[in-house]
Structure 1
Amino acid sequence: MARWQPGARERLVLAAVDLFAEHGYDATTVTQIAERAGVTKSTFFRHFPDKRELLVAGQDTLSRLLTEGITEAPEGATPLAAVAAGLERASNAMGPMNRELGPRLKAAIAASTELQERDALKSVGLSKAMTEALQARGVPPPVAHLAAELGLLAFKQGYTAWTSVEDNSDLATHTQAALEDLKAATESLT
């Protein structure tokens, strides 16, 4: 095995997502994931406590980037403008590996109830982080929660669009467009 080859964490995530899609979450073992990634089982456990945690790999980083963008938005920015700043910060940190992972991750989640539940919890966590960042800016709780949910939906829609096209566009372009579409949609509700 290529024991000291860099990128073990990323290879583990890609291997797991592929195996979950091919064989199902329940039928996939940690040993299979480690072998597919070209690492030892102990290397797997240095990066993840168990295979469930592979799905939320990067959630802490994503939450941090979203909240940093919201926190650092200009003073006086509207709640959605602050969310847009968070989306831009997080989107700009996403690279080719994130783009490649999208369709594979979607297939793996679709094939497993447990992964669907884990993905839903991830969404709740991201929304909560954005809501708290908005409230720290003085945004009232109902408005903060609504803006955060729109931001989460924009991120999901933008990510899906980004991973569905084969061009040189960046994720930020797609998340900002999705947020603008959602903003327009909310104006038609009144």
Structure 2
Amino acid sequence: MVRWEPGTPERLQRAALELYAARGFEETTAAEIAQSVGLTERTFFRHFSDKREVLFHGQQLLVQAFLDGVAAAPPAASPIEVVAAALRSATAFFPDERRPHSRTRQSVINRNPALQERELHKLASLAAALADALRARGVSDSAATLAAELGVTVFGIAFTQWIREGEERSLADIATGVFGELLALTGGSS
């Protein structure tokens, strides 16, 4: 068995996604994922707490991308301008090369209610982290929560459009357009 090859979590993630897409999430075991890349089930559980987490590994990197955008926003920026900066930063996390992977991952999630719930939890955690970062900049509690929730909603809508078959625009371009629609609806500007 190949035990000490570098990139074990990434290899397990790729294998899991392929198996989930081909056979279904429920029908695939952690042991099968590990065996498909020449590892043991025990090795799988050294890297992931359960087979759901293979799909959500690296979530903190996305959160950090949003927070980096908050940190880069000018001190005098309004809450919505800070959210726009966070969105710009986060969309860089999804270059066009990731689109096929993201499409496959989302199709697996869409076919399983428990994974859909986990995805919603991920987005709620992202909104909470973004709201906390806004509060740390002195934004009031309700304004921080509202701005963060709006930002995550814009991200979610843009991401859904980005992974559609035939879509060729970058996530950044789509998010900019969706954010513009939000501003038009509210009569605001960034």
Instruction: Note the alpha carbon deviations across 1:97-138, whole angstroms, 9 max, x for none.
Output: 532222212211121111111111111100101111111111
- Number of paired residues? 187
Using structure 1 for the length normalisation, give the TM-score: 0.85
1:104 maps to what in 2?
104
- Equivalent-residue separation in structure 2 for 1:36 and 1:42 (angstroms): 14
Name the amino acid aligned to 1:22: A
- Equivalent-residue separation in structure 2 for 1:132 and 1:161 (angstroms): 27
2:24 maps to what in 1?
24
Q: 1:14: how far off?
A: 2.9
1:67 maps to what in 2?
67
1:90 maps to what in 2?
90
Alpha carbons of 1:100 and 1:8: their partners in 2 closer, same or farther (altered >3 Å)?
A: farther
2:45 maps to what in 1?
45
- For structure 1, the residue ranges without an aligned partner over 5 or more in a row are none
Q: 1:54: how far off?
A: 1.7
Alpha carbons of 1:140 and 1:77: their partners in 2 closer, same or farther (altered >3 Å)?
A: same
Contact 2:161 2:167 in 1 (8 A): no
Instruction: Note the alpha carbon deviations across 1:132-190, whole angstroms, 9 max, x for none.
Output: 111111111111111111111121122222223454x43222222222222222339xx
Contact 1:154 1:178 in 2 (8 A): yes
- Equivalent-residue separation in structure 2 for 1:84 and 1:2 (angstroms): 45
**SS in structure 1 opposite 2:56?**
coil
| Higher mean C-alpha deviation, range 23-32 or range 120-129 | 23-32
- Equivalent-residue separation in structure 2 for 1:14 and 1:137 (angstroms): 38
- Compute the RMSD of aligned alpha carbons: 2.3
Contact 2:80 2:147 in 1 (8 A): yes
% of aligned pairs identical?
40
